[in-house]
A and B are shown apart, each in its own frame.
Chain A
Amino acid sequence: MKTQTLLTRRSPLGASVNIIKQTFSAHRHKPVQRVSFVSGLHGDEFEGPYLCHRLIHALRQIQEAHPEAFQGEVHVYPAANPPALNHGTRLWPFYGSDMNRMMGPHPGAPLPVQLSQELFEDIQSSSDLVVDIHASNLHLKELPQIRIIEEFSEELVPLALQTHADLIWVHPMAGVFESTLGYNLNKSNIPTLVVETGICLRIEPDFVDRLFHGMLQLLHHLGVLTSLPSDMPPAPTPQVVYPRGVAQSNAKHSGLFVSRAKLGQRVGEDEIIGQVLDPVEGAVLEEVTAPGNGILFTLREQPAVHSGALLARVALNQEPKP
């Protein structure tokens, strides 16, 4: 493994801001594929850095024991936004900037913009395929899933099927993706899978375990690794859902949401999955029901909700008829 300080900026306080890249080179030959794993663009999402740790640990063992197994090249960027990760904040703390809204063409030259642009260029120049790993935000917990914008689904769904994710969600394009790493790499013809799993500021070891095996499986599928560890679990079959195959429940009242369901459970339409409560008056404001039959793959964890807030998403067993 080769460790490279990819980008660095000296700080006035002393320590530098460094973005590290770990590279596992192909054994002897030109790499069959170059695959990059990126995590920590949002500094409060720790599932990605943990997954990168698992990958680096395993790839080092494989490289030491069976160097010939590496027919491709693997790059791991475990901490893409070190200042935010060190402070546990989603945004670059000193500026309040979101690195994952500064990818692709972007005006200006403040420090987070410069580093986002330089990171993007490096990933772009050293990858044939990218996995961009995210946890959810402060409010929602997610089953391990791959999110794919509709226009890229033909190429990406077969790759996503290798990742051991519970769900592959093909969704429409929206403005919010315009300046993200995933969208801009896909637009530049570098297939990029966006992983969403768990919730920020926490680690769900079981979710990461699944994805860890899935990422090894993906590397094997691409011919980057010719062999896999002997203790690989059997590959599950993820559910692939398209835009009409996802239904959601939103709060009708402001209050405290208390869930009565578990992430990943099968629910029936109108089954009660929680309540919104008035903590001041002691009233039950609403019974929250499942919006359809299927798997509960998103569930609200932050209990304080305003009316309209997203509480749950269900991957439907059957798409509703148009």
Chain B
Amino acid sequence: MKKEILNIPTPFGEPLILYKNQWGPESGDTLSIVSGLQGDRLNGLMVASRLSRFLNDVESGNEAGYQIQGCIQIFPVVNYKAWETGSAHWPFDGQDVDLTFPGMESGELTETICNTVIQHTAESDYGIILQTGEKHYEEAPHVKLIAPNRKRRTLTRSLGFHTVREVAESPSLILNLAKQWDLMGLHPFILCAGKSQTYHPQYCDLLLDGIVNFMRAEGLLSHHREKASQRETAFFDAQSEYPVLTREAGLFYPEPVIGTTVKEGEKLGEVRDLYQGTVLEQIHAPEEGYVVTLRDHPMVHEKELVAILLGEKNRRWFWPFG
């Protein structure tokens, strides 16, 4: 059911209205799913919309065998004003919404929006944030895990992702929604796939399947025959990440290695001179690793980050040994 959570008049026109969709009983376990923190991350928005349709169908009996058991909330759009402009941030304040939590009950518009999301998710047990790579980078589908512990690792396995990055504690996290959820006692998961300004249907399928599986595993959704599955999952901590930098400035031509495991010395791409087209540098994997992040924008400075590898020798399997 679509519910209004914030209604603020604007100086010149229609009011700004934020919505959430909600299904199931308000008591009991609650999952909150948030997308649209930035106005250019399309995969999350598409998944939120598809998931809402699926849950509406379940609620109205059109998805055979499924029943909603817990409370599920979806917040498809947070930075409404940024979505109007098609940019990551609202140019009016240049504020990254995911650096504005917990916001303020009465403050600037972005602060008020963030606080509204916090208030509506405060009683939840689980939180999922749908994200893509940072500007100019594509990310292979993976989960980012804040403040990892055994319980959270176990929960993560139900999301159906092959790769989990455990985020190092840092003061810069404090204004992120995921960190605020962590401080409020929710189990937060950031699901990352793709790049900004691009809809990637295959990644969205993965995200959708993973979330539905998670809901079944945690009893928020049931199916009369099928059980939720858990798959093998590789966990990498911050020390397992190998940033790969350019030596030269120029145009970066990547190899199609995103989401694959490369061997030490394997070519990741090359940098060519912008004006002459000559090859300035070939970039090779410093070690064997899974390419979780790859530069998407060709223009690179010297010492620019073009890839992040997750070191294979640091991989920790959590299944079937967990």
Measured CB to CB, the residues of A under 8 A from B are 9-13, 17, 89-91, 94-96, 98, 101-102, 104-111, 114, 137-139, 175-176, 178-179, 184, 250, 253-256, 279-280, 304-310
Contacts and interface: CB of A to CB of B under 8 A. Distances in A.
B30 to A, nearest CB: 25
Contact of A254 (B10, B106, B303): B10
Interface in B71-117: 88-89, 92-94, 96, 99, 102, 104, 106-109, 111-112
Interface stretch (B167-175, B208-216, B225-233): B167-175
Interface in B124-178: 134-136, 167-168, 170-172, 174-175
B190 to A, nearest CB: 13
Given A12-B299, A307-B9, 5 more contacts: A96-B135, A109-B305, A178-B175, A250-B107, A309-B107
Question: Which of A110, A255, A280: most chain B Cβ within 10 A?
Answer: A110
B12 A280 contact: yes
Contacts of A17: 301
Interface string B225-253: 00000000000001000010100111100
Question: Which of B12, B13, B94: most chain A Cβ within 10 A?
Answer: B94
Contact of A110 (B9, B104, B305): B305
Interface in B3-62: 8-13, 16
B302 interface: yes
A306 B11 contact: yes
Question: Which of B88, B96, B136, B304: most chain A Cβ within 10 A?
Answer: B304
B300 interface: yes
A139 B108 CA distance: 10
B299 to A, nearest CB: 5
Interface of B: 8-13, 16, 88-89, 92-94, 96, 99, 102, 104, 106-109, 111-112, 134-136, 167-168, 170-172, 174-175, 238, 243, 245, 248-251, 274, 299-305
Contacts, number: 123
B93 A11 contact: no
18 contacts: A12-B299, A89-B94, A91-B94, A98-B96, A101-B172, A104-B171, A106-B170, A107-B238, A109-B243, A138-B92, A256-B11, A307-B9, A308-B106, A308-B109, A308-B111, A309-B107, A309-B109, A310-B108
Contacts of B106: 250, 308
A10 B251 CA distance: 12
Nearest to B168: A107
Given A96-B89, A109-B245, A309 B108 contact: yes
Contacts of B304: 9, 110-111
B109 A306 contact: yes
Majority secondary structure of chain B interface residues (helix, strand, loop or mixed) = loop
Contacts of B248: 10
A137 B91 CA distance: 12
Nearest to A105: B170
A107 B243 contact: no
Given A107-B172, A138-B94, A114 B303 contact: yes
Nearest to B305: A109
Contacts of A12: 249-251, 274, 299-301
A42 to B, nearest CB: 9
Contacts of A176: 99, 175
B99 A98 contact: yes
B301 A10 contact: yes
A9 B302 contact: yes
Contacts of A13: 274, 299
B136 A95 contact: yes
A280 B108 CA distance: 22
Contact of A107 (B170, B249, B299, B302): B170
A161 to B, nearest CB: 29
Contacts of A106: 170-172
A136 to B, nearest CB: 13
A310 B93 CA distance: 13
Nearest to B297: A94
Contacts of B303: 9, 111, 114
